[in-house]
Chains A and B, each alone.
Chain A
Amino acid sequence: GENVEQHPSTLSVQEGDSAVIKCTYSDSASNYFPWYKQELGKGPQLIIDIRSNVGEKKDQRIAVTLNKTAKHFSLHITETQPEDSAVYFCAARKSYSGAGSYQLTFGKGTKLSVIP
């Protein structure tokens, strides 16, 4: 089945700096890659997602890049702010075709701390 590795597990940055979180996946059939942000005491919330026909996607200070050949994708947060402090999860899933699981496989999470 799919295996998603996420690095680093913890990340501290100064306010205003950029933060990058990287994920690799194992199943070349995966083609949907969402990122979730989990704030303390809340459930994860989708912040951005990318599909395999796109190499990069941006939404204000957040961007995700995908390299299907290398099977890795990354989350980039620019001009970080204290409210960006949270746990971030990457995930991968494939469309309905062929054998195997069609559920989201999550990375183990990255705890991001933005220091004011």
Chain B
Amino acid sequence: EADIYQTPRYLVIGTGKKITLECSQTMGHDKMYWYQQDPGMELHLIHYSYGVNSTEKGDLSSESTVSRIRTEHFPLTLESARPSHTSQYLCASSRGDRQNNSPLHFGNGTRLTVT
């Protein structure tokens, strides 16, 4: 049973449109993440947040932006979608802990297609 929700599940949109992918979690987790998953399955971290008003860029450069105004909500925005943005986007969250040993909880993803 998912405690982290992503909407929409599928999105087909034209080039140049602005889109926002929604991610919400009900577990009270401090940390949240966005991963991009390519067709070859590999997971790439594009954004993360350690708490409200905290956002950082991940390992893979992305033209998307994120915000963290509320603990439970971590939306991702593309100002002008392009075909190269076509991918699966996965949101995740985890507890903040001193040892950094808390597991990630993933949502079921948003599959974005830009035509």
Contact = CB atoms under 8 A, between A and B. Distances in A.
A89 B43 contact: yes
Contacts of A106: 42-43
Interface of B, helix, strand, loop or mixed by DSSP: loop
A93 B94 CA distance: 13
A2 B103 CA distance: 18
Contact of B101 (A42, A51, A108): A51
Contacts of A32: 99-101
Given A45-B106, A103-B59, A109 B98 contact: no
Interface in A91-116: 93-96, 101-104, 106, 108-109, 111
Nearest to B40: A108
B109 A94 contact: no
B45 interface: yes
B99 to A, nearest CB: 5
B92 interface: yes
Contact of A42 (B41, B43, B58, B108): B108
